[in-house]
Amino acid sequence: MNRACFIKLCETLNTFGGLKPNRNMDIDEQVAIFLHIIAHNVKNRVMRCRFHRSGDTISRCVTRVCNAVIRLHTRLLKKPEPIPENSTEQRWKWFKNCLGALDGTYIKCLVPIEDKPKYRTRKGEIATNVLGVCSPDMQFIFVLPGWEGSAADGRVLRDALDRPHGLKVSRPGYYLVDAGYTNGEGFLAPYRGQRYHLNDWRSGHQPTNPKELFNMKHSSARNVIERCFGVLKKRWGILRDHSYYPIDQKNKIIMACCLLHNFIRREMPIDPFEDEGEGEGEGEGEGEGEGEGEAEGEGEGEGEYEIEHGDEDSITEIETSNEWTMFRNNLAQSMFDSWSATN
């Protein structure tokens, strides 16, 4: 972030986050220490030498600033806005009333030896499964960190919907999801058994039927969540590898990183990491069928940070329905008819 953004962040944390200077450190030094740690994933002893502070001081500083950032979640999380009927944006104009996209991503973590089997992913890494929901402009709407790496994406989503202050999907809005989730009201998934990933279309292949064209358009729009995760992990080095913090603290840091991501995208006209994050993590959660590899613990997610929008006419569960299947089929046919008429 640039200097103006840093100054604005310090002011915001002081005014709304409750972060105060103490006799040893000003607010700007506390924030600088926290940002340096999460950006570069450095050890406490390195920070002691760099900032000439004791290890205890550094640890307390990280906790204070992290908690202050999280207290800003009602201000920093994006309020979902549906795609309008008159949208002309190429990626989104077909998905009227769409609120954005969601997916899960793995973030490596340190856990006690007895918990490692639950946190082991299908690739053998020890990680937490984090549910992220983002808007078309790559800002996080909802984040649920803390589930074990062995948990299926569908199970994490159901937990997010079940929580009292969890994910709210107001009708007729919906989110784009990948084939690892159920295609049901509020969650529009692609057709299985058809070409889907963007790489499948870069060799000059053209859609031959409505399902293929729908998958191509769906993939182009839903890729916003993969790009969002890519930018997030490039910006904050602590999310790319095992950190030196226990899992409970790591979950709070994950949430703080997502909130700071939103803050930077609002305050800076150009995000220096956006182009670098293009296409990052594409298909990361793809292929996880419903019910596969479910975690042993129930409701292990840590905290739900979402702006209160009310529960009026909100979707509280995800399940298949003939109406939603027909909606997807009609949308795919409309896309194909329009595309055929211009080609």
Going residue by residue through the chain, which has 343 residues, state the pLDDT in tens, using 9 for 90 and above: 899 999 999 999 999 999 999 888 999 999 999 999 999 999 888 888 888 899 899 999 999 999 999 999 999 999 999 999 998 898 999 999 999 999 999 999 999 999 999 999 999 999 999 999 999 999 999 999 999 999 999 999 999 999 988 999 998 999 999 999 999 999 999 998 887 776 766 666 788 899 999 999 999 999 999 999 999 999 999 999 887 899 999 999 999 999 999 999 999 988 888 765 454 444 444 444 443 334 344 445 555 454 444 455 788 888 888 999 999 999 999 999 998 888 7
How many residues can be counted in the chain?
Answer: 343
Nearest to 29 by CA among 1, 55, 53, 46: 53
Tokens 């296409």 locate to: 279
What are the b/e assignments for 71-89, b being 16+ CB within 10 Å? bbbeebbbebebbeeebee
Confidence at residue 276, expressed as pLDDT on a 0 to 100 scale: 52
For residue 169, give every residue at least 6 positions away whose Cβ sits within 8 Å of its Cβ, in sequence order, or none.
99, 161, 175, 186, 187, 314, 315
> Which residue type occupies 78?
K
State which H helix or E strand residue 45 sits in: helix 44-51
Whether pTM exceeds 0.75: yes
Confidence at residue 164, expressed as pLDDT on a 0 to 100 scale: 86
Confidence at residue 302, expressed as pLDDT on a 0 to 100 scale: 53
The DSSP letter of residue 129 is E
As to burial, measured by CB atoms within 10 angstroms (0-12 exposed, 13-18 middle, 19+ buried), residue 145 is: buried
Confidence at residue 131, expressed as pLDDT on a 0 to 100 scale: 97
The torsion of the CA quartet 194, 342, 227, 160, rounded to 10 degrees, works out to -60
Count the neighbouring beta carbons within 10 Å of the beta carbon of residue 119.
25
